[in-house]
Amino acid sequence: MEQLMRNFFLFLSKNKMLTKLAKKYGLRFGAARFVAGETIKLAVDAIKGLNQKNLSVTIDYLGEFVDNEAEANEMADNSIEAIKAIGREKLDSQLSLKMTSMGLDISDEVVLRNMRRILEAAKENGVFVTIDMEDYSRCQKTLDIFKQLKSEYDNIGTVIQAYLYRTVQDMEDLNHYNPNLRLVKGAYKESPEVAFPDKKDVDNNFKKIIKMHLLNGNYTAVATHDDAMIEYTIEVVKEHGIPKDQFEFQMLYGIRPERQEELVKEGYKMRVYVPYGNDWYGYFMRRLAERPANVAFVLKGILKK
Ligand code: FDA
């Protein structure tokens, strides 16, 4: 049943008509629990509130799968606006983005031009940029562009997904760059030809890459809401004397906020991924796919109205 629901919401996440409708009608159906708001101003307010609780942030102007150049340029402009707001307001925040919103599906020229614009603005404002990892069909291209940009800029990292079979090999290749990586389980619907279908295998691979990246001496962001993975990370860092400034935990805005604060109180760095903007639909559907309890929460919200 859980698998069926997951597939259903991941299928809905790609629906172009619903994406357009969602943009038009604003944050609905409980999406406001997972999205800070539609404007940069609301996002800045949310970040200030989190920073006051000693939570660091990575902000994401929502958008994905853009297929025309003007829109990709506008998406990049919005990310630059977010970077400037971080600098101006002295926020403890990084930036995250999806390269399909910067023109990855249009051409190398468009995506590289937009990425360099963003990275220049980020360098000026002392902001670190993480390239989110999208579906499998974009994985190789994302890594190729990451490697190219990493040789030009220091303030860039990317994401590795534990559910892919290729992941350990990718980590070995990337190790030459001593990258700052966010490690996640993986959020897209992938075929069993490329990704572990069984959650147990995903969890085991997740543990494997957490240990591998930490022991290679690289900065490691463990992005999960799963206590078993958090506890495993704490075990590894204690056993191997990994310093606290070599790793951090990350969680999504609106998910397990009490646990986020608890980890800060225990002395760990915790970064919250704060999405904002009107293109919230695909992001929201992936959150529903991850957890049946999130669907129950949304249904309760709708029934109350
Ligand atoms: P999972 O969903 O497997 O849940 C495991 C356990 O965690 C649950 O059984 C429960 O115990 C606990 N749990 C989870 N949610 C809970 C809740 N709401 N309340 C209480 N307990 C809860 N993916 C991707 O493909 N590309 C990317 O770039 C990113 N980026 C990213 C950034 C950040 C900061 C995060 C946190 C995640 C991502 N992801 C991602 C998403 C990621 O791949 C994954 O889909 C989700 O994090 C869900 O997996 P979890 O590891 O959280 O555990």
pLDDT of 290 over the 60 cut: yes
Instruction: Specify the DSSP class assigned to residue 101.
Output: G
Please state, for a pLDDT cut of 70, what percent of the chain lies above it. Answer: 90
What's the pTM?
0.92
- Does any ligand 1 atom lie closer than 6 A to the CB of residue 63? no
Domain positions in the chain = 35-279
> Distance between CA 241 and CA 94 in Å, rounded?
27
Per the residue annotation, which of 60, 105, 170, 182 is the catalytic one?
A: 182
Between these two residues, 121 and 67, which has the higher pLDDT value? 121
**Class of the CATH domain delimited by 35-279:** alpha beta
Q: How far are the Cα atoms of 38, 123, 157, 241, 281 from residue 51, in angstroms, in the given order?
A: 20, 21, 22, 28, 26
> Mind listing the pLDDT tens digit for each residue in 246-289?
999 999 999 999 999 999 999 999 999 999 988 877 777 777 78
Check residue 4 and give its pLDDT.
73
pLDDT band at 22 (very low <50, low <70, confident <90, very high): low
> What's the half-sphere exposure (Cβ side, CA atoms, 13 Å) at 170?
25
Q: Are 168 and 212 in contact (CB under 8 A)?
A: yes
> Distance between CA 270 and CA 175 in Å, rounded?
24
Q: Helix H segments across the chain?
A: 2-12, 16-25, 40-52, 69-88, 108-124, 139-150, 167-174, 199-215, 227-240, 257-265, 281-290, 292-304
Check residue 38 and give its pLDDT.
86
Per the residue annotation, which of 105, 132, 135, 203 is the catalytic one?
A: 132
> Distance between CA 10 and CA 287 in Å, rounded?
9
The ipTM of this complex is 0.97
* Atom 2 of ligand 1, residue of closest alpha carbon: 290
Q: What are the two backbone dihedrals, phi and then psi, of residue 109, each rounded to the nearest 5 degrees?
A: -60, -45
Instruction: Specify the DSSP class assigned to residue 200.
Output: H
Beta-strand relationship, 270-276 and 56-61: parallel
Q: Answer yes or no: 182 catalytic.
A: yes
> Mind listing the pLDDT tens digit for each residue in 84-129?
999 999 999 999 999 999 999 999 999 999 999 999 999 999 999 9
- Does any ligand 1 atom lie closer than 6 A to the CB of residue 205? no
What distance in angstroms lies between residue 109's CA and the mean position of ligand 1's atoms? 33
Of the residues 5, 142, 166, 184, which should be mutated to test ligand 1's pocket, given the most ligand atoms within 8 Å of the CB? 184
Check residue 305 and give its pLDDT.
47
Mean pLDDT of 58-64: 90
Q: Answer yes or no: 6 catalytic.
A: no
CA proximity to 99, closest of 149, 27, 151, 37: 149
173 residue type, one letter: D
